[in-house]
Structure 1
Amino acid sequence: MNYLILDDEPIARRRLRRLMSEFDHFTCVAEAADGTEALQLCALHSPDLVFLDIAMPGIDGLEVAGQLREQMPECKIVFVTAFAEHALRAFDLLAEGYLVKPIDKERLVALLEHIYGEQMQRLQYQVGHDTRWVAVSDILVARSDERYTHIYFTGGEALIDIPLKKLVAAYPRHFVQVHRNTLVKKQAVLSLESVEGSHRVRLEGFADPITVSRRAAASFKSLF
C-alpha cells in the first residue's frame, strides 16, 4: 500500500516515515510541504493512504481532505495535528482517524490496524539471529508437524511455534482448515478437485495442490 505525507515540518515528516518503515507492505510514494503540492502529488501517485497535517500555510490539511474526498473517495485519510480539538472537525470530513504530535508508535499501530484490519496483522519468526515478520494476509498455507507450524507465504516460508488451532481461532476470516494438519488462505482458493476418490484444492500463488480430508471436503464445498 502506498502512502503520502503532508507536513510543513521536515522533522515531523522524517519521524513518521521512520515509524512507517517498520511495515514492509507500506511504501511512501511522496512527501509534500504544502497543500497545493500535496494535491498535485496525490493526483500523480493515487496513494492508498494520506497523512495530513492540519495546520498548514495556504491550503490547510482540512481543505486538502475535502478535495481528496471528492477526487479520490477510496483514499484513506489520517490527520496529524498538535491540537487534539481539531479531531472533531476532522471526523466531519470522514477521516479514518487522527494522530497527535509527537506521534506515538503504539497509537500509530492501533490506528493502522483499525483501518486495515487483518492486512496489518503480522506473525513473527526467526531467521538465524534475525527477527522478521510476515503479514497474515500474505500466508497461503500453514502446516503443522509434531513441534512447529510451517507457514508458506508470498516470497518465502518459515517456522513458527503457534499451533494451527490458535491460528484459525485468531484469524477465522483468513484461514480455512482443509486437513487436521493444514490450513489454507480462503481468498487464494481457485478450485477443489476430485482425483480417484480424494480431494485436492489449488491455490493462487502456490504451485502444489493441497490434500483435503474427507471430513473437511463437505464443509469446504458448502463454504465456497
Structure 2
Amino acid sequence: MIFLLNPAMNLKLQAYSEILKRIISTEYQPGQRISEKELSQELNIGRTPIREALLQLRQEGLINVVPQSGTYITKIDLCVAISARFIRESIETRIVKEATALNDRTAMAKLQKTIANQKFFSKQKEFEKFFGEDEAFHREFYLMTNHQQVWEWLQTTNMQLNRFRMLRLKVKTLPWESLINEHEKILKAVKNHEPDEAERLIANHLHLMLDEKDALLNTFPDYFTNVPDKK
C-alpha cells in the first residue's frame, strides 16, 4: 500500500521546522514580535500552515500570544533550561559510561569526524554548523548504545536548553575551543575504556551551563525570564 503525504501537513512541518530553527539560533530574538503575514511572506508558505506551526510552538513554550498586542518569541526560561540540563546530565553520564564498554570503531570514527568538523567551523565562525556538530557528537553516544529513542525524548525537554547553548556561542568571552577540548578528552576516555573518567568528564562538560550562565545573563540581559535568585 502506498501512503501519500498530506500536502497541508507537510507544509505545516516545513513551517514548524524553519521557525523552530530560527528561534533556537536566535535569528528570531527572544521577545521579538512576529506575525503570520510576515512569516508567510518570508517562508513562502500559506497562512494556514504558519498558523498551525505557531500553535504547536506556543504549546512548546516558544511562542507567546498577548491579547490586543501580538505574537512574540518567548524569552529563554532559565529555570526550565537548568532543569533540562539536570535531566540530560543524569541520563548522559550513564550513556557515556555505557559506551566505554564497547568497541565500535565506526562510532569512534564518526565522533572523531564531528570534532574535526567543529574545529573547521570554529575557525569559520559558523556557529549554527558548529552547534549542529556539537549535537551530533552527543547524539552518537546514544546511537552507539542503542538509546536513540532516549535522545529523541530528550529533544522535547531540551528546547530552552538548546536556545541557551546556541546563545552561548555568541558570547565572545566564552571560547568555542574549550568545548572542542572537552569533547576530545571525553572521546579519549571512551576509546580507552575508562568508565569513571568518561563519566567525570561528561558530567563536568554538561555542568558548563551553570558555570557560564552569568556571562550570558550579563551579555544578553533582556533575553531571559524566570531567572533564579543568586544565592
Q: TM-score, normalization: structure 1?
A: 0.21
**Bigger radius of gyration:** 1
Larger proportion of strand: 1
Larger proportion of helix: 2
Report 1 or 2 for greater relative contact order, CA contacts < 8 Å, sequence distance ≥ 6: 2
Q: TM-score, normalization: structure 2?
A: 0.20
